[in-house]
Structure 1
Amino acid sequence: MTGPATGSRPLTLLLVHGPNLNLLGERKPEVYGTTTLLDIEADVAAAAGARGAAVLSFQSNHEGAIIDFLHEHRRLANGVVINAGALTHTSVALRDAIEAVNLPVVEVHISNTHAREGFRHVSLIAPVCLGQVTGLGRPGYTAAVNLLLDHLAAPGAS
Protein backbone atom coordinates (compact mmCIF):
# COMPACT_ATOMS: atom_id res chain seq x y z
CA MET A 1 0.00 0.00 0.00
CA THR A 2 1.08 3.53 -0.59
CA GLY A 3 2.34 5.21 2.56
CA PRO A 4 2.09 8.71 3.98
CA ALA A 5 3.26 11.76 2.07
CA THR A 6 6.95 12.19 1.56
CA GLY A 7 8.82 15.44 1.05
CA SER A 8 6.52 18.16 -0.20
CA ARG A 9 4.00 15.83 -1.83
CA PRO A 10 0.73 15.95 0.11
CA LEU A 11 -1.37 12.91 0.80
CA THR A 12 -3.87 12.41 -2.00
CA LEU A 13 -7.24 10.79 -1.45
CA LEU A 14 -9.53 9.54 -4.18
CA LEU A 15 -13.23 10.27 -3.64
CA VAL A 16 -15.19 7.88 -5.83
CA HIS A 17 -18.95 7.98 -6.42
CA GLY A 18 -20.86 5.24 -8.20
CA PRO A 19 -24.11 5.03 -10.16
CA ASN A 20 -26.84 7.61 -9.64
CA LEU A 21 -24.85 9.68 -7.15
CA ASN A 22 -24.71 12.47 -9.72
CA LEU A 23 -28.43 12.88 -8.92
CA LEU A 24 -27.93 13.52 -5.20
CA GLY A 25 -30.21 16.32 -4.07
CA GLU A 26 -32.88 15.29 -6.59
CA ARG A 27 -33.21 11.51 -6.33
CA LYS A 28 -35.17 10.16 -3.34
CA PRO A 29 -34.61 13.11 -1.00
CA GLU A 30 -36.54 11.21 1.68
CA VAL A 31 -33.70 8.65 1.69
CA TYR A 32 -30.63 10.63 0.61
CA GLY A 33 -31.55 14.18 1.65
CA THR A 34 -31.10 17.32 -0.41
CA THR A 35 -27.31 17.44 -0.29
CA THR A 36 -25.76 17.48 -3.75
CA LEU A 37 -22.66 15.74 -5.01
CA LEU A 38 -20.92 19.13 -5.19
CA ASP A 39 -21.78 19.72 -1.51
CA ILE A 40 -20.19 16.40 -0.57
CA GLU A 41 -17.12 17.06 -2.69
CA ALA A 42 -16.70 20.46 -1.00
CA ASP A 43 -17.08 18.90 2.47
CA VAL A 44 -14.50 16.22 1.70
CA ALA A 45 -12.05 18.71 0.19
CA ALA A 46 -12.38 20.93 3.27
CA ALA A 47 -11.95 18.05 5.74
CA ALA A 48 -8.96 16.64 3.88
CA GLY A 49 -7.44 20.07 3.25
CA ALA A 50 -7.63 20.94 6.94
CA ARG A 51 -5.35 17.95 7.50
CA GLY A 52 -3.01 18.71 4.61
CA ALA A 53 -4.41 16.23 2.11
CA ALA A 54 -5.58 16.75 -1.45
CA VAL A 55 -8.66 15.12 -2.98
CA LEU A 56 -9.35 13.92 -6.50
CA SER A 57 -13.07 13.29 -7.08
CA PHE A 58 -14.67 11.04 -9.68
CA GLN A 59 -18.24 9.93 -10.39
CA SER A 60 -19.46 7.46 -12.96
CA ASN A 61 -22.58 5.45 -13.65
CA HIS A 62 -20.40 2.79 -15.29
CA GLU A 63 -18.65 0.01 -13.40
CA GLY A 64 -15.74 -0.22 -15.84
CA ALA A 65 -15.05 3.51 -15.68
CA ILE A 66 -14.81 3.34 -11.88
CA ILE A 67 -12.45 0.37 -12.08
CA ASP A 68 -10.34 2.15 -14.70
CA PHE A 69 -10.16 5.26 -12.49
CA LEU A 70 -8.94 3.21 -9.51
CA HIS A 71 -6.36 1.42 -11.64
CA GLU A 72 -5.10 4.61 -13.30
CA HIS A 73 -4.72 6.52 -10.01
CA ARG A 74 -3.41 3.75 -7.75
CA ARG A 75 0.14 5.12 -7.71
CA LEU A 76 -0.92 8.74 -7.21
CA ALA A 77 -3.26 8.08 -4.29
CA ASN A 78 -2.65 7.21 -0.67
CA GLY A 79 -6.22 6.05 0.00
CA VAL A 80 -9.79 5.98 -1.24
CA VAL A 81 -13.21 6.98 0.06
CA ILE A 82 -15.85 5.25 -2.04
CA ASN A 83 -19.62 5.29 -2.24
CA ALA A 84 -20.12 2.62 -4.87
CA GLY A 85 -23.90 3.00 -4.79
CA ALA A 86 -25.70 -0.11 -5.99
CA LEU A 87 -22.40 -1.60 -7.20
CA THR A 88 -21.66 -2.19 -3.52
CA HIS A 89 -24.12 -5.07 -3.53
CA THR A 90 -23.51 -6.50 -6.99
CA SER A 91 -19.99 -5.98 -8.30
CA VAL A 92 -17.40 -8.67 -7.82
CA ALA A 93 -15.30 -6.82 -10.42
CA LEU A 94 -15.25 -3.66 -8.28
CA ARG A 95 -14.41 -5.71 -5.20
CA ASP A 96 -11.49 -7.28 -7.05
CA ALA A 97 -10.30 -3.86 -8.29
CA ILE A 98 -10.35 -2.44 -4.76
CA GLU A 99 -8.29 -5.38 -3.58
CA ALA A 100 -5.91 -5.11 -6.55
CA VAL A 101 -5.03 -1.42 -6.15
CA ASN A 102 -3.63 -2.21 -2.69
CA LEU A 103 -4.74 1.05 -1.05
CA PRO A 104 -6.68 1.57 2.17
CA VAL A 105 -10.32 2.15 1.24
CA VAL A 106 -13.23 3.37 3.35
CA GLU A 107 -16.71 2.53 2.08
CA VAL A 108 -19.36 5.17 2.77
CA HIS A 109 -23.14 5.32 2.31
CA ILE A 110 -25.48 8.21 3.03
CA SER A 111 -28.38 5.98 4.08
CA ASN A 112 -28.24 3.10 6.53
CA THR A 113 -28.04 0.25 4.04
CA HIS A 114 -28.77 -2.26 6.81
CA ALA A 115 -32.15 -0.64 7.51
CA ARG A 116 -33.26 -0.78 3.88
CA GLU A 117 -34.20 -3.53 1.44
CA GLY A 118 -32.62 -6.92 2.11
CA PHE A 119 -30.45 -6.85 -1.01
CA ARG A 120 -28.72 -3.73 0.35
CA HIS A 121 -27.65 -5.48 3.55
CA VAL A 122 -24.70 -7.23 1.89
CA SER A 123 -21.63 -5.32 0.74
CA LEU A 124 -19.36 -7.22 -1.60
CA ILE A 125 -16.66 -4.58 -1.15
CA ALA A 126 -16.64 -4.37 2.66
CA PRO A 127 -14.31 -7.37 3.12
CA VAL A 128 -11.56 -5.58 1.15
CA CYS A 129 -12.09 -2.17 2.77
CA LEU A 130 -10.49 -0.68 5.86
CA GLY A 131 -13.92 0.22 7.21
CA GLN A 132 -17.48 1.20 6.43
CA VAL A 133 -19.46 4.32 7.36
CA THR A 134 -23.18 3.96 6.74
CA GLY A 135 -26.28 5.89 7.69
CA LEU A 136 -24.66 9.13 8.89
CA GLY A 137 -25.82 11.18 5.92
CA ARG A 138 -23.61 14.00 4.69
CA PRO A 139 -21.33 13.95 7.79
CA GLY A 140 -20.49 10.33 7.02
CA TYR A 141 -18.12 11.47 4.31
CA THR A 142 -16.13 13.62 6.74
CA ALA A 143 -16.06 10.69 9.16
CA ALA A 144 -14.73 8.46 6.37
CA VAL A 145 -12.02 10.98 5.46
CA ASN A 146 -10.92 11.28 9.08
CA LEU A 147 -10.88 7.50 9.52
CA LEU A 148 -8.72 7.15 6.42
CA LEU A 149 -6.34 9.97 7.37
CA ASP A 150 -6.03 8.65 10.94
CA HIS A 151 -5.14 5.26 9.50
CA LEU A 152 -2.53 6.77 7.17
CA ALA A 153 -1.00 8.78 10.04
CA ALA A 154 -0.67 5.75 12.32
CA PRO A 155 2.86 4.42 12.83
CA GLY A 156 3.53 1.66 10.35
CA ALA A 157 0.39 2.47 8.39
CA SER A 158 0.16 1.42 4.82
Structure 2
Amino acid sequence: MHYLCLNGPNLNRLGKREPAIYGYETLADLELSLSEVAVAEGATIELKQSNHEGELIDWIYEAEDGEVDGIIFNPGAYTHTSVALRDAIAGVEVPVIEVHISNIHQRESFRHHSYLAPVCVGQISGLGLYGYEAALRTFLSKQKGQK
Protein backbone atom coordinates (compact mmCIF):
# COMPACT_ATOMS: atom_id res chain seq x y z
CA MET A 1 0.00 0.00 0.00
CA HIS A 2 1.46 3.30 -1.13
CA TYR A 3 -0.10 6.71 -0.63
CA LEU A 4 0.66 10.21 -1.78
CA CYS A 5 0.09 13.38 0.23
CA LEU A 6 -0.01 16.56 -1.83
CA ASN A 7 0.07 20.05 -0.36
CA GLY A 8 -0.66 23.15 -2.37
CA PRO A 9 0.32 26.80 -2.15
CA ASN A 10 1.64 28.33 1.05
CA LEU A 11 1.69 25.03 2.94
CA ASN A 12 5.49 25.11 2.84
CA ARG A 13 5.06 27.94 5.38
CA LEU A 14 3.25 25.81 7.97
CA GLY A 15 4.35 26.77 11.47
CA LYS A 16 5.19 30.30 10.35
CA ARG A 17 2.21 31.52 8.32
CA GLU A 18 -0.85 32.52 10.37
CA PRO A 19 -0.17 30.14 13.27
CA ALA A 20 -3.42 31.20 14.96
CA ILE A 21 -5.23 29.51 12.07
CA TYR A 22 -2.82 26.77 10.98
CA GLY A 23 -0.84 26.05 14.15
CA TYR A 24 2.88 25.85 14.83
CA GLU A 25 3.59 22.39 13.40
CA THR A 26 5.59 22.33 10.18
CA LEU A 27 5.38 20.32 6.98
CA ALA A 28 8.34 18.29 8.29
CA ASP A 29 6.34 17.50 11.45
CA LEU A 30 3.45 16.35 9.28
CA GLU A 31 5.72 14.15 7.17
CA LEU A 32 7.18 12.50 10.26
CA SER A 33 3.81 11.77 11.86
CA LEU A 34 2.22 10.43 8.65
CA SER A 35 5.27 8.29 7.91
CA GLU A 36 5.09 6.78 11.41
CA VAL A 37 1.43 5.86 10.94
CA ALA A 38 2.08 4.41 7.48
CA VAL A 39 5.04 2.30 8.62
CA ALA A 40 3.09 0.99 11.62
CA GLU A 41 0.39 -0.16 9.19
CA GLY A 42 2.79 -1.69 6.66
CA ALA A 43 2.32 1.10 4.12
CA THR A 44 4.38 3.91 2.66
CA ILE A 45 3.53 7.54 2.08
CA GLU A 46 5.25 10.21 0.03
CA LEU A 47 4.70 13.90 0.76
CA LYS A 48 5.05 16.62 -1.88
CA GLN A 49 4.35 20.34 -1.77
CA SER A 50 4.16 22.90 -4.54
CA ASN A 51 3.03 26.48 -4.96
CA HIS A 52 2.45 25.72 -8.66
CA GLU A 53 -0.85 24.38 -9.94
CA GLY A 54 0.62 22.60 -12.96
CA GLU A 55 3.08 20.65 -10.84
CA LEU A 56 0.24 19.44 -8.61
CA ILE A 57 -1.67 18.34 -11.70
CA ASP A 58 1.38 16.47 -12.98
CA TRP A 59 1.71 14.63 -9.65
CA ILE A 60 -1.95 13.58 -9.76
CA TYR A 61 -1.43 12.04 -13.21
CA GLU A 62 1.84 10.42 -12.13
CA ALA A 63 -0.06 8.83 -9.23
CA GLU A 64 -2.49 7.32 -11.73
CA ASP A 65 0.39 5.91 -13.75
CA GLY A 66 2.24 4.65 -10.66
CA GLU A 67 1.38 2.36 -7.80
CA VAL A 68 -0.47 4.91 -5.65
CA ASP A 69 -3.50 3.59 -3.76
CA GLY A 70 -4.84 6.98 -2.66
CA ILE A 71 -4.06 10.69 -2.55
CA ILE A 72 -4.45 12.92 0.50
CA PHE A 73 -4.68 16.43 -0.91
CA ASN A 74 -4.66 19.83 0.73
CA PRO A 75 -4.99 22.08 -2.30
CA GLY A 76 -4.88 25.26 -0.21
CA ALA A 77 -6.44 28.23 -1.97
CA TYR A 78 -6.67 26.25 -5.23
CA THR A 79 -9.67 24.54 -3.58
CA HIS A 80 -11.75 27.60 -4.36
CA THR A 81 -10.34 28.50 -7.77
CA SER A 82 -9.00 25.54 -9.74
CA VAL A 83 -11.16 23.86 -12.33
CA ALA A 84 -7.93 22.40 -13.73
CA LEU A 85 -7.21 20.48 -10.49
CA ARG A 86 -10.84 19.37 -10.37
CA ASP A 87 -10.56 18.01 -13.91
CA ALA A 88 -7.29 16.21 -13.11
CA ILE A 89 -8.85 14.47 -10.10
CA ALA A 90 -11.95 13.57 -12.11
CA GLY A 91 -9.70 12.14 -14.83
CA VAL A 92 -7.92 9.56 -12.68
CA GLU A 93 -9.01 6.37 -10.94
CA VAL A 94 -6.91 7.03 -7.82
CA PRO A 95 -9.20 8.05 -4.94
CA VAL A 96 -8.57 11.48 -3.43
CA ILE A 97 -9.49 12.81 0.00
CA GLU A 98 -9.46 16.60 0.25
CA VAL A 99 -8.01 17.88 3.55
CA HIS A 100 -7.99 21.33 5.13
CA ILE A 101 -6.30 22.23 8.40
CA SER A 102 -8.80 24.95 9.25
CA ASN A 103 -12.57 24.67 8.99
CA ILE A 104 -13.11 26.33 5.62
CA HIS A 105 -16.83 26.60 6.34
CA GLN A 106 -16.20 28.85 9.35
CA ARG A 107 -13.99 31.23 7.42
CA GLU A 108 -14.57 33.82 4.70
CA SER A 109 -17.50 33.03 2.42
CA PHE A 110 -15.27 32.58 -0.65
CA ARG A 111 -13.64 29.61 1.13
CA HIS A 112 -16.95 27.77 1.56
CA HIS A 113 -17.00 26.44 -2.00
CA SER A 114 -14.70 23.67 -3.17
CA TYR A 115 -14.34 22.86 -6.84
CA LEU A 116 -12.62 19.63 -5.83
CA ALA A 117 -15.00 18.14 -3.26
CA PRO A 118 -17.52 16.79 -5.81
CA VAL A 119 -14.82 14.64 -7.45
CA CYS A 120 -13.13 13.51 -4.22
CA VAL A 121 -14.20 10.50 -2.15
CA GLY A 122 -14.32 12.71 0.94
CA GLN A 123 -13.40 16.01 2.54
CA ILE A 124 -11.92 16.60 6.01
CA SER A 125 -11.90 20.13 7.33
CA GLY A 126 -11.03 21.75 10.64
CA LEU A 127 -9.17 18.94 12.43
CA GLY A 128 -5.73 20.54 12.17
CA LEU A 129 -2.93 18.25 11.04
CA TYR A 130 -4.86 15.29 12.44
CA GLY A 131 -7.09 15.58 9.36
CA TYR A 132 -4.26 14.15 7.28
CA GLU A 133 -3.92 11.16 9.61
CA ALA A 134 -7.68 10.66 9.52
CA ALA A 135 -7.52 10.58 5.72
CA LEU A 136 -4.64 8.09 5.75
CA ARG A 137 -6.43 5.86 8.26
CA THR A 138 -9.55 6.00 6.09
CA PHE A 139 -7.58 4.75 3.10
CA LEU A 140 -5.84 2.09 5.20
CA SER A 141 -9.11 0.75 6.60
CA LYS A 142 -10.65 0.58 3.13
CA GLN A 143 -7.58 -1.27 1.80
CA LYS A 144 -7.70 -3.78 4.65
CA GLY A 145 -11.42 -4.30 4.04
CA GLN A 146 -10.75 -5.13 0.39
CA LYS A 147 -8.23 -7.86 1.17
Name the TM-score, length of structure 1 as normaliser.
0.88
**How far apart are the structure 1 equivalents of 2:45 and 2:146?**
22
Q: Which residue in the other structure is 1:148 paired with?
A: 139
Q: Which residue in the other structure is 1:83 paired with?
A: 74
State which of 86, 92, 97 in structure 2 corresponds to 1:95. 86
Q: Which residue in the other structure is 1:5 paired with?
A: none
Structure 1: gaps of 5 or more residues: 1-10
State which of 96, 102, 112 in structure 2 corresponds to 1:111. 102
**How far apart are the structure 2 equivalents of 1:141 and 1:81?**
7
Using the TM superposition, give the Cα deviation of residue 154 of structure 1 relative to its aligned residue in structure 2, in angstroms: 2.6
**How far apart are the structure 2 equivalents of 1:152 and 1:58?**
22
Instruction: Tell me if 1:45 matches 2:35.
Output: yes
Using the TM superposition, give the Cα deviation of residue 40 of structure 1 relative to its aligned residue in structure 2, in angstroms: 0.8
**How far apart are the structure 1 equivalents of 2:90 and 2:43?**
23
Query: For residue 81 of structure 2, what is the amino acid of its counterpart?
Result: T
Instruction: Tell me if 1:36 matches 2:29.
Output: no
Q: Deviations over 1:5-37 (max 9, x none)?
A: xxxxxx110000000000000000010010100
Structure 2: gaps of 5 or more residues: none
State which of 8, 12, 15 in structure 2 corresponds to 1:25. 15
Q: Which residue in the other structure is 1:59 paired with?
A: 49
The structure with the greater share of residues assigned to helix is 2
8 Å Cα contact 2:63/2:94 also seen in 1: no
Query: For residue 142 of structure 2, what is the amino acid of its counterpart?
Result: H
8 Å Cα contact 1:25/1:36 also seen in 2: yes
Query: For residue 76 of structure 1, what is the amino acid of its counterpart?
Result: E
Using the TM superposition, give the Cα deviation of residue 76 of structure 1 relative to its aligned residue in structure 2, in angstroms: 2.0
**How far apart are the structure 2 equivalents of 1:126 and 1:151?**
19
**How far apart are the structure 1 equivalents of 2:35 and 2:117?**
24
State which of 77, 99, 113 in structure 2 corresponds to 1:122. 113
Instruction: Tell me if 1:12 matches 2:2.
Output: yes
Using the TM superposition, give the Cα deviation of residue 130 of structure 1 relative to its aligned residue in structure 2, in angstroms: 1.0
Q: How many pairs are equivalent?
A: 146
Using the TM superposition, give the Cα deviation of residue 57 of structure 1 relative to its aligned residue in structure 2, in angstroms: 1.2
